[in-house]
């Protein structure tokens, strides 16, 4: 085998472990593991040669390279047998310039990476294809793994259930009762997972799944398992490839358990090591005020890891008070000259609705990222000429109740500035005509307001 990847301790303890071994933490210090790559071996190809290979594979149906994750197979999990890969050609998500929104908030070069336009409607597919493929390989090697299990705020369980079902492996998901959207709840149910709704929050579910997976026949699929990170890191690699291998100035994303930002940073660092890029973007981690441990840690200069009791928030997928990947994310924020900022319920809901008014359909977490972008532009941290990428983490269609209640203006702590309730009328032509004229006036004013005006 030309290329090689293995687990090692993230904190630098000696020791190498196979990625097909059932191991989640360093046996010496108890810290998280990470997947290491033989970068010297990867350098047997020049940066230009790698770029050409990845361009040739993009958008094909060639197994497994048609996937936006497995296109980068040598950089993700080089030695997995193609027959054991479980993929639904995830990734390959659109990155588009959000003209009207960008003009409105004062950063015309604003781009949105719709990583939620994926199989199960969130970026979690990127990591789950790698983890479930590794499990498939372990089972093929004779490892006695009976099931895969994860605690979830809704999107991890949807991805796990789908990929496990595609592989024919039983899945067990632990959900905080009443704290995921109905759309998210029905996904693992439909895919035949064992769905356990626990009377606790995500952090409580995480404690339970860690106990349950001490039994090595039940494999842990949460992002403390660094196989997930290897898949998720392809989002930043794909962004750079979509810009013809150019690096934006900023990448902003909503964070909860801190796995995704760690992954995004790891992907960029690999590109730099391979000589494909020579600068790094600045990263912004966006949190909700109601679950802001990373923001508080950042404000204290990362002198200590802050944990909080996360409060209910519209951004339910990031209602996490004890982020598992804290150490990795802290290192990434420092390396990338990063910023951590937070948004209120009112700010995230209105930012999402504002984006929707420009043609998007934004989930509440993406709303957090957009609200933070607006703040950083107003603070003068992000400048008008900067190229900014906002990573949209889930599809808005998974959060219908959020949208419905916003437009009814019945969300707590939210003053819905862009509410657009339907008009109920009798089938009377005169009344209908009069209503259209009145509403057209309002819509025209609203569109005019969204023109470049607000740049501060």
Ligand X SMILES: *Cc1c(COP(=O)(O)O)cnc(C)c1O
Residues that bind ligand X (CB under 6 A): 122, 124, 155, 223, 254-260, 317-318, 363, 365, 393-394
316 binds, among Zn ion, ligand X, none (CB under 5 to 8 A by kind): none
User: For ligand X, which is the closer residue by CB, 239 or 274?
Assistant: 239
- Rounded to a whole number of angstroms, the minimum distance from the CB of residue 163 to ligand X is 15
Q: 362 vs 8, 191, 318, CA distance in Å?
A: 37, 25, 15
**Kind and range of the H or E element at 110?**
strand 110-114
- Rounded to a whole number of angstroms, the minimum distance from the CB of residue 228 to ligand X is 9
User: For ligand X, which is the closer residue by CB, 138 or 185?
Assistant: 185
Q: 134 vs 86, 89, 139, 227, 399, CA distance in Å?
A: 9, 16, 9, 8, 31
User: For ligand X, which is the closer residue by CB, 239 or 276?
Assistant: 239
5-64 binders of Zn ion (CB under 5 A): 9, 11, 13, 26, 28-29, 31
Q: Which residues contact 217 (CB under 8 A, 6 or more apart)?
A: 144, 145, 146, 147
Please say whether the beta carbons of 122 and 158 come within 8 A.
Answer: yes
122 binds, among ligand X, Zn ion, none (CB under 5 to 8 A by kind): ligand X
β-pairing verdict for 250-254 and 218-220: unpaired
- Rounded to a whole number of angstroms, the minimum distance from the CB of residue 237 to ligand X is 17
User: For Zn ion, which is the closer residue by CB, 29 or 449?
Assistant: 29
User: For ligand X, which is the closer residue by CB, 328 or 357?
Assistant: 328
- List, as one string, the DSSP characters of 387-407: -EEEEE-BBGGGGHHHHHHHH
Give the whole-angstrom CA distance, residue 449 versus residue 384. Answer: 19
- Rounded to a whole number of angstroms, the minimum distance from the CB of residue 323 to Zn ion is 19
User: For Zn ion, which is the closer residue by CB, 100 or 330?
Assistant: 330
306 binds, among Zn ion, ligand X, none (CB under 5 to 8 A by kind): none
Report residue 145 as tokens. 């793994």
- Rounded to a whole number of angstroms, the minimum distance from the CB of residue 220 to Zn ion is 18
- Rounded to a whole number of angstroms, the minimum distance from the CB of residue 453 to ligand X is 30
- Rounded to a whole number of angstroms, the minimum distance from the CB of residue 317 to ligand X is 4
**Kind and range of the H or E element at 337?**
none
DSSP H helices, 91-181, are 99-105, 124-140, 155-167
Give the whole-angstrom CA distance, residue 132 versus residue 167. Answer: 8
User: For ligand X, which is the closer residue by CB, 67 or 287?
Assistant: 287
11 binds, among ligand X, Zn ion, none (CB under 5 to 8 A by kind): Zn ion
- Rounded to a whole number of angstroms, the minimum distance from the CB of residue 424 to ligand X is 33
- Rounded to a whole number of angstroms, the minimum distance from the CB of residue 444 to ligand X is 34
User: For ligand X, which is the closer residue by CB, 128 or 394?
Assistant: 394
User: For ligand X, which is the closer residue by CB, 213 or 325?
Assistant: 325
User: Locate tokens 């150490």: which residue?
Assistant: 327
Give the whole-angstrom CA distance, residue 353 versus residue 348. Answer: 9
Beta-bridge partner residues of 252: 284, 390
223 binds, among Zn ion, ligand X, none (CB under 5 to 8 A by kind): ligand X
Report residue 449 as tokens. 């307001």
CA angle 450, 453, 456 (to 5 degrees): 125
363 binds, among Zn ion, ligand X, none (CB under 5 to 8 A by kind): ligand X
Q: Where are the beta strands (DSSP E) in 132-262?
A: 147-151, 171-176, 194-198, 218-220, 250-254
- Rounded to a whole number of angstroms, the minimum distance from the CB of residue 29 to Zn ion is 3
270 binds, among ligand X, Zn ion, none (CB under 5 to 8 A by kind): none
Please say whether the beta carbons of 363 and 356 come within 8 A.
Answer: no
26 binds, among Zn ion, ligand X, none (CB under 5 to 8 A by kind): Zn ion
Please say whether the beta carbons of 249 and 386 come within 8 A.
Answer: yes
9 binds, among Zn ion, ligand X, none (CB under 5 to 8 A by kind): Zn ion
53 binds, among ligand X, Zn ion, none (CB under 5 to 8 A by kind): none
User: For ligand X, which is the closer residue by CB, 9 or 261?
Assistant: 261
User: Could you list the residues that contact Zn ion (CB under 5 A)?
Assistant: 9, 11, 13, 26, 28-29, 31
């Amino acid at each position: 085998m030309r290329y090689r990847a293995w687990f090692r301790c993230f904190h630098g303890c000696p020791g190498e472990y196979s990625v097909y071994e059932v191991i989640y933490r360093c046996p010496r210090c108890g810290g998280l593991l990470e997947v290491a790559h033989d970068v010297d071996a990867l350098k047997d190809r020049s940066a230009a040669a790698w770029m050409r290979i990845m361009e040739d594979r993009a958008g094909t149906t060639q197994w497994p390279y048609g996937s936006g994750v497995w296109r980068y197979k040598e950089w993700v999990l080089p030695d997995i047998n193609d027959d054991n890969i479980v993929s639904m050609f995830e990734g390959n998500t659109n990155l588009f310039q959000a003209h009207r929104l960008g003009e409105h908030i004062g950063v015309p070069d604003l781009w949105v990476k719709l990583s939620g336009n994926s199989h199960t409607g969130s970026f979690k597919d990127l990591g789950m294809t790698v983890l479930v493929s590794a499990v498939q390989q372990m089972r093929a090697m004779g490892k006695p793994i009976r099931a895969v299990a994860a605690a979830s705020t809704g999107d991890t369980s949807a991805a796990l259930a789908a990929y496990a079902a595609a592989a024919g492996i039983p899945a067990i998901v632990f959900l905080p009762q009443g704290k995921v959207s109905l759309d998210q709840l029905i996904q693992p149910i439909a895919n035949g997972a064992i769905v356990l709704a626990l009377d606790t929050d995500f952090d409580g579910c995480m404690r339970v799944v860690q106990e349950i997976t001490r039994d090595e026949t039940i494999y842990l699929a949460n992002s403390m398992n660094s196989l997930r990170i290897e898949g998720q890191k392809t989002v930043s690699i794909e962004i750079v490839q979509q810009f013809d291998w150019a690096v934006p100035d900023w990448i902003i994303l909503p964070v909860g358990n801190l796995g995704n930002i760690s992954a995004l940073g790891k992907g960029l660092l690999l590109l730099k090591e391979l000589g494909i890029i020579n600068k790094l973007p600045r990263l912004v981690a966006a949190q909700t005020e109601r679950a802001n441990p990373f923001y508080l840690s950042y404000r204290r200069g990362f002198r200590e890891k802050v944990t909080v009791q996360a409060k209910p928030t519209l951004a339910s997928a990031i209602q996490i008070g004890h982020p598992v990947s804290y150490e990795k994310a802290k290192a990434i924020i420092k390396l990338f000259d990063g910023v951590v900022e937070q948004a209120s319920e009112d700010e995230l809901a209105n930012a999402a609705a504002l984006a929707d008014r420009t043609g998007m359909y934004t989930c509440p977490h993406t709303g957090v990222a957009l609200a933070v972008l607006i703040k950083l532009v107003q603070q003068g941290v992000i400048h008008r000429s900067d190229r900014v990428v906002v990573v949209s983490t889930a599809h808005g269609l998974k959060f219908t109740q959020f949208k419905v209640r916003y437009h009814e203006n019945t969300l707590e702590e939210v003053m819905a500035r862009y509410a657009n309730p339907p008009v109920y009328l009798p089938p009377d032509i005169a009344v209908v005509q009069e209503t259209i004229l009145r509403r057209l006036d309002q819509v025209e004013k609203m569109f005019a307001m969204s023109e470049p005006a607000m740049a501060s």
